[in-house]
Amino acid sequence: MSESTLNFLNNWRAAMLLLTPISAAIGILIFVFYKIKLSTTKVYKAKYDLVSKHEYKFLLSAHVFIAGAIFFVCNTYEAEGLTHSFMWFWIRLFISLCIGVLYGYVALLMLKFYYPTQQAKRLKVYRYAPRVNPKTGNKMKLLSEEEEDAYLDEGMQAEEDVFSVDYDVWIDEDTGDTHIEKYEGRLHAMECDRCGFQTLKLEKEEITKEVSDHEDGELIKHYKCTYCKRIKRKTVNLSHEKSASDFKITESTKLIEDPLNMGAKVILIKMDIHISGGRVESYEFQNMVEAQKFLKEFELSKLEEEEQA
Residues that bind Zn ion (CB under 5 A): 192, 194-195, 225, 227-228, 230
**Closest distance of CB 188 from Zn ion, Å:** 16
Task: Pick between residue 123 and residue 195 the one whose CB is nearest to Zn ion.
Answer: 195
Task: Pick between residue 177 and residue 306 the one whose CB is nearest to Zn ion.
Answer: 306
Q: What are the residues facing 232 on neighbouring strands?
A: 223
Task: Pick between residue 58 and residue 197 the one whose CB is nearest to Zn ion.
Answer: 197
Strands 217-225 vs 231-238: parallel, antiparallel or unpaired = antiparallel
| Burial class, 242, CB count within 10 angstroms (exposed 0-12 / middle 13-18 / buried 19+) | exposed
**Closest distance of CB 167 from Zn ion, Å:** 17
Q: DSSP secondary-structure letter at 113?
A: I
**Closest distance of CB 227 from Zn ion, Å:** 5
Task: Pick between residue 230 and residue 240 the one whose CB is nearest to Zn ion.
Answer: 230
CA–CA distances in Å: residue 258 to residues 50, 207, 264, 266: 41, 42, 10, 10
What are the start-end ranges of the H helices in the chain?
3-40, 44-74, 87-109, 115-128, 145-148, 154-161, 288-297
Task: Pick between residue 55 and residue 159 the one whose CB is nearest to Zn ion.
Answer: 159
Cα separation, 151 vs 266, whole angstroms: 24
**Closest distance of CB 160 from Zn ion, Å:** 15
**Closest distance of CB 233 from Zn ion, Å:** 15
Asked whether the beta carbons of 48 and 168 are under 8 A apart, the reply is: no
Cα separation, 87 vs 54, whole angstroms: 43
